[in-house]
Amino acid sequence: MEIWINPACSKCRGALTLLDAEGADYTVRRYLEDVPGEDEIRAVLDRLGLEPWDITRTQEAAAKELGLKEWPRDAGSRDRWIAALAGHPKLIQRPIITADDGTALVARSEEAVREALSRSER
């Protein structure tokens, strides 16, 4: 299991605390330093079952500068969104946990972290 985090994020720190309390085996990826490429973002989106706009932090300064709120949310715009996430990783919602069963979750709640744990303990 891998968790994408920003150490400054309280939700990320909370997820790590819960993973540690449960004795989970996981790898930390500080995605602002180890930036995922477009192909990695596509793979995680597939695992999440989401579209790039679903995991975009639209309140970030970079999102406002890019005018993301005005971008179409359709198949034709998908690559443009993915390129924006790869170019501005701060826009990626966090934390994201990739579970051992091939799925992934945006783990912003304790319930989501526990769900990722259950998917990884099989």
Pairing of strands 2-5, 27-30: parallel
Q: Pick the catalytic residue from 9, 43, 62, 112.
A: 9
DSSP lists the bridge partners of residue 29 as: 4
pLDDT at 43: 97
* DSSP strands (E only) in 16-120: 27-30, 96-98, 104-106
Q: How does the average pLDDT of the chain come out, rounded? A: 95
Q: What are phi and psi of 97, to 5 degrees?
A: -110, 125
For residues 84-88, average pLDDT? 98
pLDDT digits (tens, 9 = 90+) for 5-49: 999 999 999 999 999 999 999 999 999 999 999 999 999 999 999
Read off the pTM.
Answer: 0.93
d(CA 66, CA 70): 9
pLDDT at 120: 83
Tokens 């934390």 -> residue: 95
Taking a C-beta distance cutoff of 8 angstroms, is the pair 92, 55 a contact? yes
Is residue 12 part of the annotated active site? The answer reads no
For residues 51-79, average pLDDT? 96
pLDDT at 122: 47
pLDDT at 63: 97
Provide the residue type at 57 as one letter.
R
Instruction: Identify which of 76, 78, 21, 39 has the alpha carbon closest to the alpha carbon of residue 55.
Output: 78
Q: What are phi and psi of 9, to 5 degrees?
A: -90, 125
